[in-house]
Amino acid sequence: MSTTLSSATPETPDSPPRPASTRATLIRLVQRLHFYAGVLIAPFLLIAAVTGALYAVSPSAEQLIYRHQLHTDSSGPAKSVAEQVRAAQAVRPDLQVTAVQPATEPGATTRVLFSDPSLGESERLAVFIDPVTGESLGQLASYGSSGALPVRTWIDQLHRSLHLGEPGRMYSELAASWLWVVALGGLVMWAVQVRKRRRATGSGSMLRGLPRMRGRGRTISRHGVIGTWIAVALLFLSATGLTWSTYAGEHVTELRSALNWTTPTVDSSLTGTPQAAGGEHADHQMSGSGSMSGAMSSADEVAGIDGAIAIARANGIGGPVEVTIPDNASTAFVVAQNRVPWRMSTSSIAVDPSRDAVVDVNDFSDWPLAAKLSAWGIQLHMGLLFGLANQLLLFAVMIALIVAIVLGYRSWWQRRSRTRRIGAPPARSALRELPLPLTLAIAVAAVAIGWFIPLLGWPLLAFLVVDTVIGAVRTRGLESAA
């Protein structure tokens, strides 16, 4: 949405266009880009903001909706994790158990996860077990590494793809691709407007707005203030959102791999020479090397869960964890920290409880900085890093974005009504007025961005071409009339 009045010198149909400085022309180019992006892209941003607001509070809503499965009033000593897994296996003997998330505090339930062919991609069936009584409290589909339950999963898919599958993901990628452009363009124009106001009246602030404004000016002031307050959050959401996208996300993954910024993983293989933890973990080092000689039965694997958790705890893997159960004798148990509020690490460890041994350690403190920032960014974007405070902040940002979009459309409508009354000045292409080297640089940048962020770059290149053609046609018409 346009947040400023035109910064170029006013023109009338009776006077020839007056040359503008390069700075003024660039500002006018940003203004036109922001305006067209606001009108055409804002509907996608509006959908993303509404669904994003719903998703922001979905983790807390999930705790209420599924409180019977997630919480229990039972008190007393808990059964062993192996006993709890066997209780879940008795409920679903037709499925293979793959992992378990043991309860770590009184009142919480244990989540036993099964591979279920009837579920969708990245989904597992969770059987919730009362750790005290061993009673099953229900079954629900669990999605992804975050363990989202059906309501949160439904909202997540609505936010991501509008439940239209891969074609629907184009909308969210388009919104994420243009969000940072719209935000930065609005900041530039709002800064110009505030500066002009200060020169004229000595008052005005980007954070507080322009005093004593009426009509469209007051709408622009409110739009600019809201945009300024949430700009940093919008840039963050745009950057992290692109990592999940189809086209730009693939390029981000390739870039991280080329720069060795990928997220490390734990090696759970028992077929080679395992890496044992040293120092404070020396009491749980592997006694030998090589592969396991004997295959464990399913019952033996389940029986080893408590030993695997004990070794992991002794090696510093604290808090809620997910234990991945090996499906063959050449794979170790993997105990990984879950993403929970106010915990910055997601370390993991591979252990062989039959030997009281550590196979491999993936310590979060050893991750590359880029991998750490990526992990924190994903958790922050999902509203998980700082719990309820994180969710409320995201919800407030989304509501503010919705209001800013509505105000932007109102400003556009007010401008449209005004130009109908007084007659619109002729639109000239800002790009044609720039020095040729700068024009070529902008075109090259648009092509480069088009490769890395296709749903931004190619529409941007199309805008530059169309704007240039329209400006040339209108300018030629004025010259002919003169």
* Chain segment 140-171, per-residue pLDDT in tens: 999 988 899 999 999 999 999 999 988 889 99
Q: 427: how many CB neighbours lie within 10 A of its CB?
A: 15
Domain count, the chain: 1
Residue range 411-420, pLDDT digits in tens = 988 877 665 5
Q: How far apart are CA 378 and CA 260, in angstroms?
A: 19
Cβ-contact 453, 242 below 8 angstroms = yes
Q: In b/e form, how buried is each residue of 175-202, taking b as 16+ CB within 10 angstroms?
A: bbbbbbbbbbbbbbbbbbbbeebeeeee
Q: Kindly state the DSSP code that residue 331 receives in the 8-state scheme.
A: B
Cβ-contact 205, 191 below 8 angstroms = no
3-state secondary structure of 261: coil
Residue 14 has pLDDT above 50, yes or no: no
pLDDT tier, 288 (very low <50, low <70, confident <90, very high otherwise):
very low
CA distances from 240 to 3, 118, 211, 235, 282 (A): 26, 31, 36, 9, 39
Q: How far apart are CA 95 and CA 293, in angstroms?
A: 27
Report if residue 354 sits inside a domain.
Answer: no
Q: In b/e form, how buried is each residue of 377-394, taking b as 16+ CB within 10 angstroms?
A: bbbbbbbbbeeeebbeeb
Domain containing residue 458: 22-41+165-249+387-420+432-475
Report if residue 79 sits inside a domain.
Answer: no
Report if residue 159 sits inside a domain.
Answer: no
Among 109-123, 337-351, 445-459, whose mean pLDDT is lowest?
445-459
Residue range 267-285, pLDDT digits in tens = 988 865 444 443 333 333 3
Q: How far apart are CA 472 and CA 10, in angstroms?
A: 18
N-to-C CA span, the chain: 33
Residue range 164-220, pLDDT digits in tens = 988 889 999 999 999 999 999 999 999 999 999 998 888 889 999 998 888 899 999
Note the pLDDT of residue 464.
72
3-state secondary structure of 224: helix
Among 112-126, 240-254, 417-431, whose mean pLDDT is lowest?
417-431
Cβ-contact 26, 214 below 8 angstroms = no
Residue range 250-264, pLDDT digits in tens = 988 888 888 888 889
Residue 229 has pLDDT above 90, yes or no: yes
Cβ-contact 291, 270 below 8 angstroms = yes
3-state secondary structure of 326: coil
| Amino acid type, 344 | M
Q: 456: how many CB neighbours lie within 10 A of its CB?
A: 26
Report if residue 436 sits inside a domain.
Answer: yes
Q: φ and ψ at 206, to 5 degrees? A: -65, -30
Note the pLDDT of residue 432.
65
Summarize the confidence of residues 456-463 as an average pLDDT: 80
Q: Is the pTM of this model over 0.85?
A: no
Q: How far apart are CA 384 and CA 370, in angstroms?
A: 19
- Cβ neighbours of residue 106 under 8 Å, at least 6 residues apart? 75
Summarize the confidence of residues 107-116 as an average pLDDT: 96
Q: 157: how many CB neighbours lie within 10 A of its CB?
A: 20
3-state secondary structure of 98: strand
pLDDT tier, 447 (very low <50, low <70, confident <90, very high otherwise):
confident
Note the pLDDT of residue 208.
92
Note the pLDDT of residue 262.
86
53-57, 265-269, 338-342: which has the highest mean pLDDT? 53-57
Report if residue 85 sits inside a domain.
Answer: no
pLDDT tier, 1 (very low <50, low <70, confident <90, very high otherwise):
very low
Q: How far apart are CA 61 and CA 160, in angstroms?
A: 19
Report if residue 86 sits inside a domain.
Answer: no
- Cβ neighbours of residue 296 under 8 Å, at least 6 residues apart? 304, 326, 329, 354
What rounded mean pLDDT belongs to the chain? 84
Residue 58 has pLDDT above 70, yes or no: yes
Report if residue 341 sits inside a domain.
Answer: no
Q: How far apart are CA 221 and CA 217, in angstroms?
A: 6
Q: φ and ψ at 71, to 5 degrees? A: -135, 155
pLDDT tier, 291 (very low <50, low <70, confident <90, very high otherwise):
very low
Cβ-contact 447, 461 below 8 angstroms = yes
Q: How far apart are CA 223 and CA 201, in angstroms?
A: 20
Note the pLDDT of residue 470.
72
Report if residue 272 sits inside a domain.
Answer: no
Q: How far apart are CA 384 and CA 220, in angstroms?
A: 34
Note the pLDDT of residue 259.
82
- Helix, strand, coil: what percent of the chain each, to 5? 55, 10, 35
Q: How far apart are CA 317 and CA 412, in angstroms?
A: 55
Note the pLDDT of residue 421.
53
Cβ-contact 3, 223 below 8 angstroms = yes
Q: Which long-range contacts (CB under 8 A, 24 or more apart) does 396-403 make?
A: 397/230, 397/233, 397/234, 397/237, 398/49, 398/50, 398/52, 398/53, 398/56, 399/49, 399/53, 400/226, 400/229, 400/230, 401/45, 401/49, 401/230, 401/234, 402/46, 402/49, 402/50, 402/53, 403/226
Q: Which of 133, 127, 130 is nearest to 111 (CA)?
A: 127
Note the pLDDT of residue 7.
39
Q: φ and ψ at 54, to 5 degrees? A: -65, -45
Note the pLDDT of residue 298.
52
